[in-house]
Amino acid sequence: MVSDGTLTPEALAERAKTNGVELWALTDHDEVGGQHRALAAAGAQGLAYLTGTEISVTFAGETVHIVGLGFDPDDAALTQGLLATRGGRKQRAMEMSDSLAKAGIPGAFEGALKFVGNPELISRTHFARFLVEAGVCREPHEVFRKFLTEGKPGYVPHRWASLRNAVGWITGAHGVAVIAHPGRYNFTANEEYALFSEFKEHGGRAVEVVTGSHTRQEFVKYAETAKEFGLAASRGSDFHSPTESRTDLGTLPFLPGDLTPVWELLASRIRQ
């Protein structure tokens, strides 16, 4: 709601409940402004809730997402850190628009803005919606194959938060930091090893193993990585919208039984 999803917290809570979800976390990008509303919506559905966010980090020249769970959403260092992370998105969006214009697609900034709820949080998803609406691509996944990614029109490299800061903000606010969808990054084996080791050194404690962004082979691969690094495991849909997301809330397989679920580390932070 305050980043790039299309449903309200109330509609998400209802959908989660209907789909049999037992514990829900709303994880807007670089924002915690929807947390109190999500908590109330979960309460109204009788759904257990953990606070959530997904912080954009630059590591080894790539954008990595670090999920935070179970933190205090009013923590000053966390909210200040997220505010700083969001700054620069508008400038980047204008540069993305210039790059698309050079590729023969004018008006992308204004076009993407129409889809933006929170003006601080214009993201590539909003550009993807514009490119679909303009008939340039059929669906968002096609957009990310042809545009907005490294080497393609509309891609603008950006410096997000450091890994150390993102993990520090989350743990400082009494939450648990989680490496989101590691299968999505284009890292060499060495870079991936560095990500996991540095993440642990900074106090990170979990990795997303089962997610809508992973293949079944990646479920197995990252279950092994979790054990190798002594990390707990999380499971998340990465659900953004009924028409754009491949994975609906509550429809993914369970975590492999030999992993420690991240919510075991957060039992005292779950709000009923």
Summarize as ranges the residues that interact with ligand AMP (CB under 6 A).
4, 29, 56, 123-125, 140-141, 144, 240
**Number of neighbouring beta carbons within 10 Å of residue 217:** 9
Residue 236, contacted partner among Mn ion, ligand AMP, none, CB below 5-8 A by kind: none
**Nearer Cβ to Mn ion, position 15 or 65?**
65
Q: How far is the CB of 3 from ligand AMP (least distance, A)?
A: 7
Q: How far is CA 245 from CA 1, 5, 15, 144, in A?
A: 15, 10, 14, 13
What string marks each residue from 167 to 206 as x (binds Mn ion by CB under 5 A) or -? -------------x--------------------------
Q: Decide if 35 contacts 6 (C-beta within 8 A).
A: no
- CA dist 228 and 32 (Å) reads 31
- CA dist 93 and 125 (Å) reads 11
**Nearer Cβ to Mn ion, position 47 or 180?**
180
Angle between helices 124-133 and 89-102 (to 10 degrees): 40
**Nearer Cβ to ligand AMP, position 117 or 256?**
117
Q: How far is the CB of 121 from ligand AMP (least distance, A)?
A: 8
**Number of neighbouring beta carbons within 10 Å of residue 191:** 15
**Nearer Cβ to ligand AMP, position 65 or 205?**
65
**Nearer Cβ to Mn ion, position 97 or 123?**
123
Give the angle subtended at the CA of 8 by the CAs of 3 and 12, to the nearest 5°.
105
Q: How far is the CB of 43 from Mn ion (least distance, A)?
A: 26
Give the angle subtended at the CA of 259 by the CAs of 73 and 191, to the nearest 5°.
75
Q: How far is the CB of 238 from Mn ion (least distance, A)?
A: 6
- CA dist 79 and 88 (Å) reads 16
Residue 140, contacted partner among Mn ion, ligand AMP, none, CB below 5-8 A by kind: ligand AMP
**Nearer Cβ to ligand AMP, position 17 or 124?**
124
**Nearer Cβ to ligand AMP, position 213 or 260?**
213
Q: How far is CA 246 from CA 101, 123, 140, 219, 233, in A?
A: 30, 19, 11, 16, 21
Q: How far is the CB of 103 from Mn ion (least distance, A)?
A: 25
C-beta nearest to ligand AMP: residue: 123
CA dihedral for 256, 32, 161, 171, sign (positive or negative): negative
* 65 contributes a contact to Mn ion by CB under 5 A: yes
SS3 84: helix
Q: How far is the CB of 53 from ligand AMP (least distance, A)?
A: 13
Residue 129, contacted partner among ligand AMP, Mn ion, none, CB below 5-8 A by kind: none
Q: Which of 93, 111, 141, 116 is nearest to 244 (CA)?
A: 141
Q: How far is the CB of 264 from ligand AMP (least distance, A)?
A: 27
- CA dist 221 and 57 (Å) reads 23
Binding site for Mn ion (CB under 5 A): 65, 180
